[in-house]
Copies of this chain bind each other. A is one copy, B any other.
Amino acid sequence: MTERDQRRSTCPISAALEVVGDRWTLLIVRDMIFGGARTYRDLLAAPEGIATNILANRLARMQALGILTSLPDPQDGRRMIYRLTPKGLDLLPVLMGLSTWGARYEGGIAPEGVLEAWMEDPKAFVTRVQAAQAAD
């Protein structure tokens, strides 16, 4: 039985929350998009301090859900390189929605210029960030 079969409703908000509605998934996506994180170690360095077992679990789950892919680093056999799929990258608007709200109501502080660029022209912002991901 797949995760999808046990979906609680057909609502797309609910469906999305079953995938990203936990404590860590979106923060991992954040660190991969904005922090350039590509390895397990990069992600462990998140300021919120994710536990090693949770991170391993989330990476496996996100891979199974098609949000990211992994491959061994050709330069170093110990290291795995994680990359967001288009599906993962497409969570950017969700991140920006949260970011806008968190900055407005919860005193969060986004990197200089990011929210401004997003609010000015969301589509151009997404295109620019996604191009930057593809580049490196």
A residues engaging B (CB < 8 A)?
4, 8-23, 26-27, 30, 47-49, 66, 87, 90-91, 93-110, 115, 122
Contacts and interface: CB of A to CB of B under 8 A. Distances in A.
B16 A108 contact: yes
Overall SS of chain A's interface: helix
30 contacts: A4-B106, A9-B47, A10-B107, A10-B108, A10-B109, A11-B30, A11-B47, A11-B108, A11-B109, A12-B106, A12-B115, A13-B27, A13-B102, A14-B47, A14-B48, A15-B102, A15-B106, A15-B107, A16-B99, A16-B102, A17-B26, A18-B106, A66-B105, A90-B101, A90-B105, A93-B97, A94-B98, A94-B101, A97-B97, A122-B122
A89 B78 CA distance: 47
A27 B16 CA distance: 11
Given A21-B23, A26-B21, A12 B97 contact: no
Of A16, A27, A30, A104, chain B has the most CB atoms within 10 Å of the CB of A16
Nearest to A96: B97
Contacts of A102: 11-17, 19
